[in-house]
A = this chain, B = another copy of it.
Amino acid sequence: MTSQAPTRAYRRLSVEERRSQLLEAALSLFATRAPEDISLDDVAEAAGVSRPLVYRYFPGGKQQLYEAALRSAAEELEHCFAEPPDGPLTRRLANALDRYLAFVDQHDAGFSALLQGGSVVETSRTTAIVDGVRRAAAEHILSHLAVEAPGNRLRMTVRMWITAVEAASLIWLDEEKEPPLDELRDWLVEQFVACLVATAARDEQTAAVVRAALTLESADGPMGSLARRVLPVVGDAAHLL
């Protein structure tokens, strides 16, 4: 009986469906364990197929399967960033972060293994895939900032924040997912606002972006809340003005 299920499945699935099924099985394994600890047998077992079948679809073995799974995860991640260009910027950013952090939460072990580096499956190709996701994230954010030709400072600020979000995600996984996701999300949005305001202090283009963004924010939104909490912290610094 046990050998019959896969045989029946062989007939039912198209090449594309079979490939997707194997990728999905691989992705859920790579998501919860380090690539070092996963064999093609594990993938075959998780997908309910034979090892030779996995090799037929991925003749390059585990490395090829890992890269294909990573590419499919990267596509999924890039979908997270899509957000309609309406409403306050902080709300749009919070929505995208919600989806991104849910992805991190679901793919925790794989996410850590991938970004911490030094993994046996890491190659210049896997690095390029990850860099592609970072670039896509930066493009999405810059498009929401609605700048025709973003300058060096603005682009650098966005990319620095994206790296900081990655670092925060890794630390968050490492610290047993503390603080809770919605608090982490709000905090990361506030960090973005802070970095943007600091850059605005030395870059006219960024200053224009911040001024335009502020007009869309309201007192009962995240920016109002941040402003009211920041004032008591810096309130005693009149000697700096």
Question: Taking beta carbons and an 8 Å cutoff, which residues of A are in contact with B?
Answer: 116-119, 122-128, 130, 152-153, 155-157, 159-164, 166-168, 171-172, 175, 178-179, 183, 186-187, 190-191, 193-195, 197-202, 207, 210-211, 214-215, 217-219, 221, 223-224, 226-234, 236-237, 239-241
Q: Which residues of B contact A234 (CB under 8 A)?
A: 197, 210, 214, 227
Check B187 against A199 for contact (C-beta < 8 Å): yes
Contacts A/B (CB < 8 Å), 18 sampled: A117-B130, A118-B124, A118-B126, A118-B128, A122-B122, A160-B164, A164-B195, A186-B202, A187-B198, A187-B199, A200-B230, A210-B233, A215-B236, A217-B237, A219-B240, A223-B237, A227-B234, A228-B241
Distance (whole angstroms) from the CB of A63 to the closest CB of chain B? 13
Instruction: With a 10 A CB-CB cut-off, give which of A190, A221, A232, A240 has the most chain B CB atoms.
Output: A240
Check A190 against B194 for contact (C-beta < 8 Å): no
Q: Which residues of B contact A240 (CB under 8 A)?
A: 214, 217-219, 221, 223-224, 227-228
